Copies of this chain bind each other. A is one copy, B any other.
Amino acid sequence: MRHEPNGLQAPDRPWRSRLHEVIFEADTFAGKAFDLILILSIALSVLAVVLDSVASVHARWGDELLIAEWAFTVLFSIEYALRIVSVRKPFRYVWSFFGMVDLLAILPTYISLVVPGSQYLLVIRVLRVLRIFRVLKLANYLNEARQLTAAMRSSRRKITVFLFTVLTLVVVLGSLMYMIEGEESGFTSIPQSVYWAIVTLTTVGYGDISPITPLGKALAAVVMILGYGIIAVPTGIVTVELSRASAGRISTQACESCGAEGHDSDAAYCKHCGARL
């Protein structure tokens, strides 16, 4: 792997810019084809890892899946090297989100030579599939994803406060339950009871641990109603922020032809007179 010392915006050697276009862009035919084959390979390689974990499949097809795994890993390693070679600022790529994912998508196979079992980490490859949005040129989907992310980001602080309160709550409630129910009911320690409190407050309710004494059941009922009620809080937070993000869809632009306002921010033509905005 060669590291490029020059991080300039100046035109580069032609083979590299062509390589870059094929690997990183999806505008040309070659670029699109490359991305589609890549995503197919990713899907197949994840499927191989998932299937290999099923005992009956492993017994029957274990060797073939091992070969497939190595084939995909070699393929993705070459692709990773090409990405580093073709990009002008390799370090920036390596430390970017997709750069890390691309590396994590090949490492486990090599590590599994030393630490058996780690090959299941390869499912992290599934994250690479998120590239699909770019490939399919789903600008609209990207836009929606951006709205969701914006809503999440601006409600980050409210959600932190909420989570902090919930965590404090489950520690206190779990400890109370530990004192009420004790070890005979399966509440063997405070961490175990806190686990129960989370299972109950989030309304998951496995039932692997559940209160037996009347007092314990009464407290459990309180926890349930609490959990049933406070789910309203994150929902309310996200709804309000999404509502704002969605309201941000209306641009302040006025039509030059008819003067109408209130166009959506993704509008290219005036909805009233059809003139270009």
Contact = CB atoms under 8 A, between A and B. Distances in A.
A104 to B, nearest CB: 11
A224 B236 contact: no
Given A199-B224, A202-B203, A270-B269, A242 B234 contact: no
B233 A148 contact: yes
A80 interface: no
Copy count, this protein chain: 4
Contact of A239 (B117, B126, B236): B236
B274 A264 contact: no
A176 to B, nearest CB: 8
Contacts of A189: 53-55
A159 interface: yes
A221 interface: yes
Contacts of A160: 141
Given A148-B233, A195-B221, A267 B272 contact: yes
A171 interface: yes
A148 B140 contact: no
A240 B163 CA distance: 21
A124 interface: yes
Majority SS at the chain A contact face: helix
A133 to B, nearest CB: 8
A262 B164 CA distance: 26
Nearest to A221: B198
A135 interface: no
A120 interface: yes
A163 to B, nearest CB: 7
A227 B49 CA distance: 25
Interface residues of A, number: 97
A154 to B, nearest CB: 10
B269 A175 contact: no
A148 B155 CA distance: 12
Interface in A182-216: 188-192, 194-195, 198-208, 210, 214
27 contacts: A53-B175, A54-B189, A54-B191, A55-B189, A123-B175, A140-B157, A141-B157, A145-B161, A194-B221, A195-B218, A198-B221, A202-B203, A203-B204, A206-B206, A206-B207, A206-B210, A228-B234, A231-B231, A231-B235, A236-B242, A263-B271, A264-B264, A266-B272, A267-B271, A267-B272, A269-B272, A269-B274
Interface of A: 46, 49-50, 53-55, 117-118, 120-121, 123-124, 126-127, 129-130, 133, 140-141, 144-145, 147-148, 151, 157-164, 166, 168, 171-172, 175, 178-179, 188-192, 194-195, 198-208, 210, 214, 217-218, 220-221, 224-225, 227-229, 231-244, 246, 262-264, 266-276
